[in-house]
């Protein structure tokens, strides 16, 4: 039996090593860093600790039962209501009203408009005591779609899920006299980055003081991340390119300069060099302003781009290349271009201690669609900004048979598959917070792992800088 257990541990650690970091270049260039990250989980005894924490526990089971009661009686209905009444980012007034009213009714003090974002809020448990500050992120914005707003990412469920976990664990702290408190962070406009709301809130100090943060997100399978650096959706530069020309009648277009021609040239320039970029590169753009009338030469056009790559080092090269493509388009068409770097998303940190605990609980609570292999490393929230500074985990039990950003996922939020996933997410989040509040062993492991991985990030970046040399183009003679 011992040989079987040890073999399983080796396989698990090997699988994690294969998943560590997203691209072959990252894994090879930072081989020593990746090795240290993977050895860290073994040194900390993550698997034995997870087995110990997930064993039967009467107090934890009472918290989980309270989560189910809250979801079954009121919060699942709230999730359904928000699903049927979608609001895009920074317009989520009805969702925020429902979520904050419920928190106020359960002994939380609410501040709305934090970080100068009108639909962001912080709710602090009134009866909290000195001890671990347990953080819960909730989201509630809908996607922007051609048919209007829709909850194709099931953010409608994330608010009620977070509330169930927060309230159940807060009540436990008071009932048992366990030191600690709970803070709920209402984060709007997750789909409208960058700059994403959590980045703004982080810079405003909203998350300061949190010892751990949990959140949930919709998914079509049950999984956990490998430990390391990364994001769910790559490192991103958000850039707007505004081209300025001169108006004229289209019948005498030579009297003007066409900004629409410039922006089309810009897109063509990017397409011309895609084959010279690393295959993991993603350059995604739309023309948000293309002119006012067919008979007038457009004198202003705007293109909005997300430029993505798995790490920030090569992303900087890609972004510089795209900016040059814009300048070249302007030069070729006799126009001018303004380049506005309006936001960015960067790597977060995922921890084996919390990822493995989350995965074990999701399976324990009956999650379906379980993927045994680790996924790529990613922070517990999509910008990486918070998860690079505060330890935490994103819980992802299967809640849909459809992929993210689809009408099928929205429909599943109202069906059994969605409801089951939301309940398991809430139970898992509450169980993790329970363990963090009651077991110094977990708190110590999380702190040690997070501090060590944070310290390795600079070494990781320096290794990547050596892996992405720019080809030298000789000066013409």
CATH of the domain at 325: 3.30.70.360
Q: Is position 469 within any domain?
A: no
Does residue 312 share a domain with residue 170? no
For the record, the structure tokens of 151 come out as 């909850």
Does residue 242 share a domain with residue 212? no
CB 357 within 8 A of CB 394: no
Rounded CA-CA distance 60/83 in Å is: 30
CB 259 within 8 A of CB 335: yes
- φ and ψ of 375, to 5 deg: -90, 180
Q: Is position 5 within any domain?
A: no
Nearest residue to 183 (alpha-carbon basis) of 206, 158, 155: 206
| CA angle centred on 469, ends 465 and 474, rounded to 5° | 150
Beta-bridged to residue 142, according to DSSP, are 88
Whether this model's pTM surpasses 0.75:
yes
Q: Is position 17 within any domain?
A: no
For the record, the structure tokens of 43 come out as 């040194």
The reported pLDDT for the residue numbered 19 is 62
CATH at residue 192: 3.40.630.10
Nearest residue to 380 (alpha-carbon basis) of 151, 216, 234: 216
- Sequence-distant (≥ 6) Cβ neighbours of residue 81 within 8 angstroms: 98
Q: What is the pLDDT along the chain (477 residues), one digit of tens a residue?
A: 333 333 344 444 444 545 667 788 888 888 899 899 989 999 999 999 999 999 999 999 999 999 999 999 999 999 999 999 999 999 999 999 999 999 999 999 999 999 999 999 999 999 999 999 999 999 999 999 989 999 999 999 999 999 999 999 999 999 999 999 999 999 999 887 656 789 889 999 999 999 999 999 999 999 999 999 988 889 999 999 999 999 999 999 999 999 999 999 999 999 999 999 999 999 999 999 999 999 999 999 999 999 999 999 999 999 999 999 999 999 999 999 999 999 888 899 999 999 999 999 999 999 999 999 999 898 887 777 899 999 999 999 999 999 999 999 999 999 999 999 999 999 999 999 999 999 999 999 999 999 999 999 999 999 999 889 888 999 999
Does residue 215 share a domain with residue 91? yes
The reported pLDDT for the residue numbered 201 is 93
CA atoms within 13 Å, Cβ hemisphere of 212 = 31
CB 54 within 8 A of CB 360: yes
Does residue 134 share a domain with residue 83? yes
The reported pLDDT for the residue numbered 433 is 98
CB 420 within 8 A of CB 235: no
Does residue 65 share a domain with residue 124? yes
Domain range for 263: 235-345
How many domains does the chain fold into? 2
Q: How far is CA 402 from CA 144, 222, 363, 408, 413, in A?
A: 18, 13, 20, 6, 11
Does residue 337 share a domain with residue 306? yes
């Amino acid at each position: 039996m011992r040989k079987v257990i040890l073999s399983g541990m080796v396989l698990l650690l090997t699988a994690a090593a294969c998943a560590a970091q997203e691209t072959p270049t990252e894994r090879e260039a930072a081989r020593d860093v990746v090795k240290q990250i993977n050895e860290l989980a073994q040194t900390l005894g993550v698997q034995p600790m997870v087995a110990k924490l997930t064993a039967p526990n009467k107090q934890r089971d009472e918290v989980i039962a309270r989560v189910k009661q809250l979801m079954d009686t009121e919060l699942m209905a709230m999730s359904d209501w928000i699903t049927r009444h979608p609001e895009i980012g920074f317009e989520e007034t009805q969702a925020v009203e429902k979520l904050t009213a419920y928190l106020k009714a359960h002994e939380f003090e609410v501040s709305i408009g934090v970080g100068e974002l009108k639909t962001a809020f912080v709710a602090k448990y009134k009866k909290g005591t000195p001890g671990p500050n347990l953080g819960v992120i909730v989201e509630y914005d809908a996607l922007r779609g051609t048919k209007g707003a829709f909850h194709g990412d099931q953010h409608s469920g994330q608010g009620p899920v977070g509330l169930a976990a927060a309230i159940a664990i807060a009540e436990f702290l008071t009932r048992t006299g366990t030191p600690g408190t709970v803070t709920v962070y209402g984060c709007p406009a997750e789909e409208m980055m960058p700059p994403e709301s959590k980045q703004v809130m982080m810079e405003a100090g909203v998350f300061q003081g949190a010892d751990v943060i949990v959140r949930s997100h919709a998914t079509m399978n049950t999984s956990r991340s490998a430990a390391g650096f990364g994001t769910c959706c790559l490192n991103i530069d958000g850039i707007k390119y505004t081209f300025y020309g001169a108006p004229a009648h289209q019948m005498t277009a030579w009297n003007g300069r066409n900004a629409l021609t410039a922006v089309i040239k810009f897109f063509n320039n990017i397409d011309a060099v895609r084959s010279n970029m690393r295959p993991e590169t993603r350059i995604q753009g739309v023309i948000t302003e293309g002119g006012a009338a067919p008979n007038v030469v457009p004198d202003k056009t705007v293109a909005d781009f997300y430029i993505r790559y798995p790490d920030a080092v090569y992303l900087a090269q890609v972004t510089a290349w795209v900016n040059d493509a814009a300048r070249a388009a302007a030069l070729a068409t006799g126009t001018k271009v303004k380049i506005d770097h309006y936001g960015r998303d960067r790597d977060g940190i995922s921890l084996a201690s919390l990822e493995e605990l989350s995965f074990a609980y999701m399976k324990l609570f009956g999650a379906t669609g379980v993927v045994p292999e680790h996924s790529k490393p990613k922070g517990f929230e999509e910008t990486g900004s918070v998860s690079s500074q505060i330890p935490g985990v994103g819980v992802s039990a299967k809640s849909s048979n459809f992929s993210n950003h689809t009408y099928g996922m929205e429909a599943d939020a109202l069906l059994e598959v969605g409801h089951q996933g939301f309940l398991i997410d809430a139970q898992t989040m509450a169980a993790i917070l329970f363990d963090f509040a009651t077991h110094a062993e977990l708190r110590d492991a999380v702190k040690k792992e997070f501090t060590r991985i944070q310290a390795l990030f600079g070494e990781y970046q320096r290794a990547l800088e050596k892996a992405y040399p720019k080809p030298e183009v000789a000066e013409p003679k």
